[in-house]
């Protein structure tokens, strides 16, 4: 009998007041006696996740308030729609100092930062954390972001061509130090061997750089590369570069299709070994001591969602002003320019049945259209096992509800059930994030 597939687990948050369940700050158990802007809040959550043997905490991001709904960011401000939000990499050192094994994924956009400074920042974080950093590679998508940076961000046909060159420069910099480059001989006074620390001279269509990488090689050489592209071009980019992908699919059929397609692209189109790209699917969980208790908790969570705030979020994510549509319109009839893969999570949220604008907003505001597992620990693991065995999942990105309680409950109740069934590690066997991901 083949061994059971074990799950990778990551905590999914933003360095902000309210993460991915809109209105959750209103919940009576959310951030009680905690301030999201203080390091101790993040350090507590990191300790909880490491106690639960999670691969990593994954910090999502956007660069400016959503401002598509009614052509304004007013609703985002009014309802705390991922507002305010601090820069993600600033909490990585705070998390790294109180943990020993937990990985730290940071979302950083290539849109407004040169690859030289990006590769330097990531190398520094990976060096400081002893090899526990992942980079979620994104290029900015929302009108609010482009406007905030004073750039015309209307659809550019060369978006992925630019991103490919960006990665080319980063790879050149990360790979420019040979083994043995550091001599550090006090007697002679020679620290580094210039012949082994190569100057990168790249003169390309989009980027130019001439200089040496300014950081010694980190334990992973470069951070774990993460991606969430779901469009056709995005899937190609992920299949070529990513070591793990984050995807949101509401049904088993969508998971199966995505898993098979990504594997085919990675192996057939880019010649990578089977299983090279870990598929981490979004999942939201609500656990209780009984199924009835969990269902009641889930109802309390949904009651926190403000409809206008939900509309502001889907407008910002999908690049279209949903205030111009009736709440009863079918979202399948609306063409969106924004994040195609996530929009599909709404289109298929009811397994093919029509989804209205109102339903789409509320479903998305609950947790980005992720499937939700509600019940006892056994109920939740039952559902996770189906996704692992039939959906092609290698693990799960667990979206928050109320924090830090949702993670405390998951670690205390669900992790032991996963371990009891042989579906999860009993201890860390490596020290770097890449080793966690390759453990199984």
3-state SS class at 68: coil
Structure tokens at 118: 């990006």
Helices (H), 149-251: 159-174, 232-241
The answer on whether 231 is annotated among ligand-binding residues is: yes
Tokens of 228: 């969430």
Instruction: Give the single-character DSSP code of 23.
Output: T
Asked whether 284 and 399 are in contact (CB, 8 A), the reply is yes
Residue 107 assigned ligand-binding role: yes
Q: What does the block give as tokens for 196?
A: 């082994």
Q: Using DSSP bridges, classify how beta strands 56-60 and 8-14 pair: parallel, antiparallel or unpaired.
A: parallel
Cis peptide before 84 (omega within 30 of 0): yes
Q: Is 61 annotated as a binding residue?
A: yes
429: tokens are 């066997």
Helices assigned H by DSSP within 275-376: 291-302, 307-318, 340-347, 357-367
Whether the upstream peptide bond of residue 404 has omega within 30° of 0, thus cis, is: yes
C-alpha angle with apex 159: 139 to 238, nearest 5 degrees? 65
Output DSSP code: residue 356. Answer: B
149: annotated binding-site residue? no
Residue 396 Cα distances to 87, 393, 424, angstroms: 24, 7, 12
Q: How far apart are CA 43 and CA 63, in angstroms?
A: 23
- Burial class (CB within 10 angstroms; exposed 0-12, middle 13-18, buried 19+) of 365: buried
DSSP class of 410: I
Q: How far is CA 181 from its chain centroid?
A: 34
Residue 431 assigned as binding residue: no
8: β partners: 395
The helix (H) or strand (E) run that includes residue 294 is helix 291-302
Alpha carbon distance, N-terminus to C-terminus of the chain: 17
Q: How far apart are CA 234 and CA 246, in angstroms?
A: 12
What is the distance between the alpha carbons of residues 141 and 126, in angstroms, rounded to a whole number? Answer: 27
Known binding residues are 61, 107, 160, 230-231
Known binding residues for FMN are 61, 107, 160, 230-231
């Amino acid at each position: 009998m083949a061994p059971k597939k074990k799950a990778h687990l990551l905590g999914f948050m933003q360095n902000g007041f309210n993460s991915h369940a809109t209105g959750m700050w209103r919940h009576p158990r959310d951030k009680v006696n905690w301030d999201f802007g203080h390091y101790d809040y993040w350090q507590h959550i990191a300790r909880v996740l490491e106690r639960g043997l999670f691969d990593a905490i994954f910090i999502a991001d956007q660069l400016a308030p959503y401002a598509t709904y009614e052509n304004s960011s007013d609703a985002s401000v009014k309802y705390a729609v991922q507002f305010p939000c601090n820069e993600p990499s600033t909490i990585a050192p705070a998390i790294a100092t109180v943990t020993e094994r937990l990985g730290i994924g940071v979302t950083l956009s290539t849109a407004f930062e040169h690859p030289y400074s990006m590769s330097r920042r990531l190398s520094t974080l990976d060096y400081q954390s002893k090899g526990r950093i992942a980079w979620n590679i994104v290029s900015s998508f929302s009108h609010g972001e482009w406007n905030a940076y004073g750039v015309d961000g209307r659809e550019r046909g060369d978006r992925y061509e630019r991103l490919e060159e960006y990665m080319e420069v980063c790879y050149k910099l990360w790979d420019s130090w040979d083994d043995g480059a550091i001599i550090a001989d006090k007697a002679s006074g020679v620290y580094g061997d210039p012949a082994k620390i190569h100057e990168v001279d790249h003169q390309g269509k989009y980027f130019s750089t001439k200089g040496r990488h300014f950081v010694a090689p980190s334990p992973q050489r470069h951070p774990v590369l993460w991606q969430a592209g779901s469009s056709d071009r995005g899937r190609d980019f992920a299949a070529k570069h990513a070591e793990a992908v984050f995807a949101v699919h509401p049904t088993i059929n969508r998971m199966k299709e995505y898993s098979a397609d990504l594997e085919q692209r990675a192996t057939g189109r880019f010649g990578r070994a089977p299983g090279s790209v870990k598929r981490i699917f979004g999942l939201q969980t609500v656990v209780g001591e009984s199924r009835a208790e969990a269902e009641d908790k889930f109802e309390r969570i949904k009651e926190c969602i403000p409809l206008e705030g939900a509309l502001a979020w889907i407008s910002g994510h999908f690049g279209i002003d949903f205030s111009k549509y009736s709440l009863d319109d079918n979202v399948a009839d609306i063409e969106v320019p924004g994040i195609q893969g996530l929009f599909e999570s709404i289109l298929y949220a009811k397994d093919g049945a029509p989804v209205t604008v109102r339903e789409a907003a509320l479903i998305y505001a609950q947790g980005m259209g992720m499937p939700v597992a509600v019940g006892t620990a056994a109920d939740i693991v039952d559902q996770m096992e189906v996704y692992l065995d039939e959906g092609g999942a290698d693990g799960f990105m667990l979206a928050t509800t109320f924090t830090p309680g949702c993670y405390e409950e998951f670690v205390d109740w669900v992790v032991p059930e996963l371990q009891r069934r042989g579906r999860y590690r009993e201890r860390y066997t490596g020290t770097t994030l890449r080793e966690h991901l390759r453990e199984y």
